[in-house]
Structure 1
Amino acid sequence: MSAADLEKPATVEQELRPSARHLLSEAGFAGVVDTVLGSNPGMTRLTAMSITDEALKFVAASSRFPKAGLRPSHVVAQGWRALVLHTRLYTHLGGNLGRYVHHEPELPGQHDEVAVERAQAYIVQAGYRPSPELWQRPEESGILVAADGPVHPH
């Protein structure tokens, strides 16, 4: 794939996986879900599971396409941050994906909505089906979390 191909929207002929849960053990996935729940009182377990799964899709895409400059939505970032807190699990995930994706919080006012939109296309390129309801702007999603950040894979 050339650098020019990375700028084009994804068009994938293959069937997309609806979930990336297979990237973690059941216990590991449950632990990250519990961290999302602990940070978001009142959130349902099903919502926390969806957020964690979407964060895994995002990390898989970011690892596979390190120069794409992807950013998560505010909701997906909540799952990514919970994942990062499980350092051994997250390090192991990076090893399995072939690249560790660093999380660096962005400063207020630096949010790049285009990079957030682009992330969904790269999730498709990585073989997963994004969950559009988790990629909406904070005021549109109906899911109250406060998280966002750029990625710096190496």
Structure 2
Amino acid sequence: EEYIAGEAGMQRTWRAGGLLVQHLPKAGTEGSRDLAPGDAPDGTVLPEPHEAWAEARALTDTIGDDELVDRMLSPERLLFRLFHERGVRVFDAQDVREHCTCSRARIEGIVKSFTMEERRDMVEDGHITVTCEYCSTSYRFAPVEFDPAE
């Protein structure tokens, strides 16, 4: 938390920081092993994490709160400090935005993955209607689009 001079006098501002370590799908075999579900019984033995993940966690655990909010320390510089021995690749920044990737073709493919009997059970008022849970777009299909015999 800090105070800066603004048009209306002193204004309070705040900063927050964080770091997300993510395994990219094309990264090969150095991925994280599957974890036991959160509702695993007590005493469940979890697999040891891959050594690259253990190293990443050990290094990121050294980050101080002050480093995450330091205006003079760029994210690239912080990453270099942590991972310079491994090599650092920084991708171009992308704006965080709300965007849904659903489409009629994608939803049609999902509906086609069900059996004919399951699709028949989906029919209401003569149509199969699927609503995307993310963007609320509804897609309406005639059953004959999937089962020409009907």
TM-score range, shorter chain: under 0.3
Which one has the bigger strand percentage? 2
In our comparison, the structure showing a higher alpha carbon Rg is: 2
The TM-score with structure 2 as length reference comes to 0.20
